[in-house]
Amino acid sequence: MIKLYTSVEYCMPCSPRIYFLIYFASMKKRISTLVLLVLVFHQFLFANDSTKVVLKTFSPEPQHAMVYQLAGQILNSYHYQKLAIDDRLSENLLNEYLKNLDPSKVYFLKQDIENFSVFKHELDEDIMQGKVDRLFHIYNLYQNRVQERIQFTKELLQTTFEFTANDSFLTDREIANWPENFQAYDMLWKNKIKLELLQIKTGGKELKVCITDLNKRYDNLLKQMSKMKSEDVFSYFTNTLAEIADPHTNYFSPRMAEDFNTSMSLSLEGIGATLQTENEYTKIRDVVKGGPADRSKLVHANDKIVAVGQGKDGEMVNILDWRIDDVVSLIRGKKGTIVRLEIIQADASNNKTKIIEITRDKIVLEDQSAKGSIKEVTKNGKAVKVGVISLPTFYLDFAGMQKGDPNYKSTTRDVKKLLKQLTQDSGATSIIIDLRNNGGGSLQEAVELTGLFIKNGPVVQVREAMGNINAESDKDDKIFWDGPMAVLVNRFSASASEIFAAAIQDYKRGLILGEKTYGKGTVQNMLDLNQFLMVDGKKLGQMKITIAKFYRISGGSTQHKGVVPDIEFPSIFASKEYGEEASEYALPYDEIKPATFTVYNGNAVALTRLKLNHEYRMKGNAEYRYLNEDIESFNAAKNKKYTTLNELAYKAQSDIEDQKKKARDEERKKIKDQTKVEPNLILDEGVQILLETY
């Protein structure tokens, strides 16, 4: 994934060992862990009269053989689990490369796949010998197939379309097969284009306008395809090799390495959202708290972006099948300028779109700082104050600290100030640390923040590739807050967030509430390939590889399994779709020897009572009912195999969903008008649960 303000989650060194806590989501259905390049061809001549496209055939550059061989050696020698270069890897590499090129199985023919199968036990030898010709050959055929299908589409759009037959399209492309022959190939694309037209038409446009829009979509796709270079092809299949090691291991081409390093700046201008690629769509992974997208309240996690326009009246450019780095460039812009996004909301039926406006702004460290607030509630007839500290990331101004700046920013320093303000100044008698959507950051800060709530002791264990285990500990005997506390987490709490939450849970220092966390318990480091190899003075890029794993002080890894809350809420983001479990190549959960530590007062009987009371409250909670309804609808849509191509049936389904959404919005508004409070299910219930603990 890529952030519009930075490509990483605050890559912060920590003493005495340097651990880079870089968090990249890896999702089922081949969602990219860094940049999923939607591969395209490099040069073309394409006229509106559907004349033949002339393509450039890609071939490796002189350095590619050596860099590919070096990448294999690094994965075999330096990666945490030392990737075996054998026939099994060869077969996995071929399968994943084909899946990444054609995830929807709409470009390759079955015969193509059968022809490629002769390579399945030869690609491991190619890695060891630095041979890349076979993978370039596969790509070249792929681009020819893309060209054929776009040519077919341009011609098809000149014919007549009817939407009255009871036809359907297999939208669950994971269970689809590659077309058996050209007859099946053409029928697949006829239905695919018909569905795309129907999706646009349902938005209220005339068919003629829909056809024009779809022509523009493929013209824009071709325009993006023209930017493809040989280095991009090489980067794509080398990244496929890297991700077989694990989803957080990546190859950075020289261009991407430069972008990556530039994006370490925390003051880039954009909208403050994390993007990922899923099949042909660019998807909102999450929004940055305090950023322009968050402040707009118009865009949310899981929304899909289908077009981008500049200013209030700039042309909307369709971005389906675009490279994600090009999408980022289109959305990013100067502070104060407007970008318009055509989005499909996560809960929208039948891919109906709407256009929103967001004013770009700078995303700076201050926007990511901890924020404090007071929730005032009634307990036993008396007003009680609960302090809430929202923590978007674990940040540390490492440069400022090294320079001796007395006012350098850090998570722990800021939380200390907030704890004093909330408890001593405002009178809060309990504290909630909100880590929802916190993707990680500085390990040092995760350890020091834990130290504010415990006397001393280990916080996390780190197992290196050679088997050495080291504990990162709080050595300060002072406890800054010893009162009641809870930690809120969700599916997108990851890395350093999981370290903090796991330590609080293991010490039984506070309650963990919310959703099961992401499960990112690995450590990455960056390697400059020019340190290993020089080729005519060229920049060769970098590799990010996994070098260690995190373990709880109780012995279990945070990897894969994540942190399971003491009181768990249902989540619309299923573990098999979102999180470490979504990748078949994620490192597994395992355990090591527990560290020595002293548990605080834990009461299993009290926890049982808290769960029963929580379940009772949820039975009458409207927001909880909405959540379960959303999960049911989301799962129904996800499990839907086919989409109708009959316009009346398609529109009827869309209208039903629209009516449900409208009724929900009206009911929610009525409740809000009565209570005068914006509902926040997990936080509101977290406050009630915390109050019952004392």
Assess whether pLDDT exceeds 50 at residue 16: no
- Residue 98 half-sphere exposure toward CB, CA atoms < 13 A: 23
Quick check: 39 pLDDT over 60? no
State mean pLDDT over 124-153: 94
Q: What is the per-residue pLDDT for 260?
A: 58
**Angstrom distance (rounded) from CA 230 to CA 51:** 25
Percent of the chain with pLDDT over 70: 88
User: Is a pLDDT exceeding 90 seen at residue 441?
Assistant: no
487 Cβ neighbours under 8 A, 6+ residues apart: 432, 433, 435, 500, 501, 504, 505, 510, 511, 512, 513
pLDDT score of 664: 83
Tokens of 577: 């779709």
Question: Residue 417: what residue type?
Answer: K
Rg (CA), the chain: 26
**What percent of the chain is modeled with pLDDT above 90?**
56
Spatial CA neighbour of 284 closest among 314, 262, 306? 306
* Cβ–Cβ under 8 Å, residues 290 and 381: no
Model confidence over 544-593: pLDDT tens digits? 999 999 999 999 999 999 999 999 999 988 767 788 988 899 999 999 99
Q: Which residues are catalytic?
A: 495, 506, 520
Q: What is the mean pLDDT of the chain?
A: 85
Which tens digits make up the pLDDT trace of 622-675?
999 999 988 888 888 888 899 999 999 998 988 888 888 888 888 888 887 777
Place of tokens 């700039």: 314
366 HSE (CA, 13 A, CB side): 3
pTM of the entire predicted model: 0.83
Residues 466 and 131: their CA atoms lie apart, in Å, by 30
Q: From residue 38, how far is each of 3, 5, 23, 97, 683 by CA, in Å?
A: 18, 22, 22, 12, 39
- Report H helices in 392-455: 398-403, 411-419, 443-451
User: Which residues lie across from 389 on neighbouring strands?
Assistant: 372, 433
Helix 622-639 × helix 647-675 angle, to 10°: 160
pLDDT of residue 125: 96
> What's the count of helices (H) and strands (E) in the chain, helices before strands?
19, 22
Name the range with the highest mean pLDDT among 35-49, 188-202, 259-273. Answer: 188-202
Distances (CA, A) of 379 to 389, 433, 680: 21, 21, 19
Integer Cα distance of 197 and 153 in angstroms: 12
- Whole-angstrom distance, CA of residue 520 vs CA of residue 558: 7
**Three-state secondary structure of 67-89:** HHHHHHHHHHHCCCCCCCCCHHH
> How many residues would you count in the chain?
694
Question: Contact at 8 Å (CB) between 203 and 20?
Answer: no
pLDDT value at residue 128: 95
Token pair listed for 177: 């097969």
Q: Is omega for the bond preceding 406 within 30 degrees of 0, making it cis?
A: no
Name all domains of the chain by residue range, CATH numbers in brackets: 34-246 (no CATH), 269-362 (2.30.42.10), 367-527+538-611 (3.90.226.10)
Q: Going along 220-364, which residue ranges are E strands?
A: 250-252, 269-270, 273-278, 281-287, 304-310, 317-318, 338-344, 353-359, 361-362
Cα gap 127→345, rounded to integer Å: 42
pLDDT band at 436 (very low <50, low <70, confident <90, very high): very high
Return the HEC string of 85-151. CCHHHHHHHHHHHHHHHCCCCCCCCHHHHHHHHHHCCCHHHHHHHCCCHHHHHHHHHHHHHHHHHHH
Report how far residue 648's alpha carbon sits from residue 350's, in angstroms, rounded to the nearest whole number: 13
**CA gap 387, 411 in Å, rounded:** 17
Q: Is the dihedral of CA 272, 276, 278, 282 positive or negative?
A: positive
**Residue 12 pLDDT greater than 60, yes or no:** no
What pLDDT sits at residue 256? 76
Q: What is the pLDDT of residue 212?
A: 92
pLDDT at position 521 is 96
Query: Exposed, middle or buried: residue 622 (CB in 10 Å: 0-12, 13-18, 19+)?
Result: middle
Please state the separation of Cα 674 from the chain's center in Å. 37
SS3 (DSSP) at 499:
helix
Tell me the per-residue pLDDT of 386-411, one tens digit each, with 9 for 90 and over: 999 999 889 888 778 888 888 888 99
Query: Comparing 361 with 523, which gets the higher pLDDT?
Result: 523
